Homo-oligomer: A and B are copies of this chain.
Amino acid sequence: MSQASDAFPSRLKESEDRVAPFIRTDPVVHSGNKYRWHGPLDEVALSKYERDGFLWFEGFFNQERMAPFFDELLEMAQDKELLASDQVIRDPTTGDIRSVFAMHEFSEHFSRLTRDPRILGMVRQLLGSEVYIHQSRINDKLGFEGSGFYWHSDFETWHSEDGMPRMRAVSASLMLTDNSEFNGPLMLIPGSHHYFIPCVGETPDLNWRQSLRSQRLGIPDQKALKMMADRGGIQAPKGPAGSLMLFECNTLHASNANISPWPRSNLFFVYNSVDNLLKEPYAANSERPDFLGARENTTPLTMHDDFPELA
């Protein structure tokens, strides 16, 4: 742990003096002026991302392009070795798959998706460097019972538990199903990425086993959350399968339970800058497994050149 000189102190002891939310100093768009417009995003999009902390692309891919990823998920559900591993999180009561991590490491199909030229082009433009995959996962929220995720900043966890030094990562979330008002869509607080909110509660050992099911640490206090939501409101973009969300690593987000009959599945790829490699965790005693925060494979991604849906 290297908390002494920590620019983003969190997981504070209950007894410690509280540290109030403070304004970030890291850029949101990392490309220097010279390279800012060298990429697929125009200035309208870049400014919007700087202001809100996310960009939504309704129907980015067509729905048919998403179908094979479902089929592969069904195959994974038959793979006993995979199911028994730590990188699959199952529902404690039904045994259904809830999350699968690091698909891009064992599926060429998913790997190519992370290297889609348009996604990778945008991510490089936002992060101003070559990038690699910090984490990939599928979140499956079943109908009737899929539980929600409370408000949090991913960066708070990645910094505290994975040793990610600065705010220079972006998540791409690709919808495998329609996301509607009723099946627990991602909710975001626009503008919240401009603040770092130190959280209270020390990280216990092996916290990640617990936190993947229900996050209890890295939760901003209600006063800070209310301030953010009163300023920026809440948005929950909806759209058909194939829609894409890019969101900055420090944007506060949450999702509600899914009590509709309709399942919700989203892919997440977290891209980190190669100039922002993980160090020792800032507020945990040991590193999390590689499938949660990659340290082994940090080779810069190369574009996969096909545009199959445009062929």
Known: A181-B181, A182-B236. A259 touches B226 (CB 8 A): no
Bound complex: CA A187 to CA B144 (Å): 14
Which residues of chain B are within 8 angstroms of A195 by Cβ–Cβ distance? Answer: none
Which residues of chain B are within 8 angstroms of A150 by Cβ–Cβ distance? Answer: 259
Question: Which chain B residue shows the least CB distance to A181?
Answer: B181
- The 0/1 profile, CB within 8 Å of B marked 1, for residues 234-264 of chain A is 1010000000000000000010110111100
**A148 contacts the other chain (Cβ, under 8 Å)?**
yes
Query: What is the total number of residues of chain A having a CB less than 8 Å from a CB of chain B?
Result: 22
Question: Which chain B residue shows the least CB distance to A238?
Answer: B181
Contact of A234 among B182, B236, B256, B257 (CB under 8 A): B182
Bound complex: CA A144 to CA B226 (Å): 9
Task: Establish whether residues A259 and B148, one from each chain, have CB atoms under 8 Å apart when the complex forms.
Answer: yes
Which residues of chain B are within 8 angstroms of A187 by Cβ–Cβ distance? Answer: 182
* Interface of chain A: mostly helix, strand, loop or mixed: loop
**A143 contacts the other chain (Cβ, under 8 Å)?**
yes
Instruction: For residue A56, give the distance in angstroms from its CB to the closest CB of chain B.
Output: 15
Interface members, chain A 104-162 (any B CB < 8 Å)? 143-144, 148, 150-151
Contact of A259 among B151, B181, B230 (CB under 8 A): B151
Copies in the complex: 2
Bound complex: CA A260 to CA B188 (Å): 11
Task: Establish whether residues A226 and B261, one from each chain, have CB atoms under 8 Å apart when the complex forms.
Answer: yes
Bound complex: CA A260 to CA B144 (Å): 21
Task: Establish whether residues A230 and B182, one from each chain, have CB atoms under 8 Å apart when the complex forms.
Answer: no
**A303 contacts the other chain (Cβ, under 8 Å)?**
no
Question: Which chain B residue shows the least CB distance to A261?
Answer: B226
**A33 contacts the other chain (Cβ, under 8 Å)?**
no
**A78 contacts the other chain (Cβ, under 8 Å)?**
no
Bound complex: CA A262 to CA B236 (Å): 16
Which residues of chain B are within 8 angstroms of A143 by Cβ–Cβ distance? Answer: 222, 226
Which residues of chain B are within 8 angstroms of A148 by Cβ–Cβ distance? Answer: 257, 259
Sample of 20 A–B contacts (CB below 8 Å): A143-B222, A143-B226, A144-B222, A144-B225, A148-B257, A148-B259, A150-B259, A151-B259, A181-B181, A181-B236, A182-B187, A222-B261, A229-B260, A229-B261, A229-B262, A230-B261, A234-B260, A254-B259, A256-B257, A257-B257
- Contacts beyond the supplied A181-B181, A234-B260: 16 A-B pairs with Cβ under 8 Å: A143-B226, A144-B222, A144-B225, A148-B259, A181-B236, A182-B234, A182-B236, A225-B261, A226-B261, A229-B260, A229-B261, A230-B261, A254-B259, A256-B256, A256-B257, A257-B257
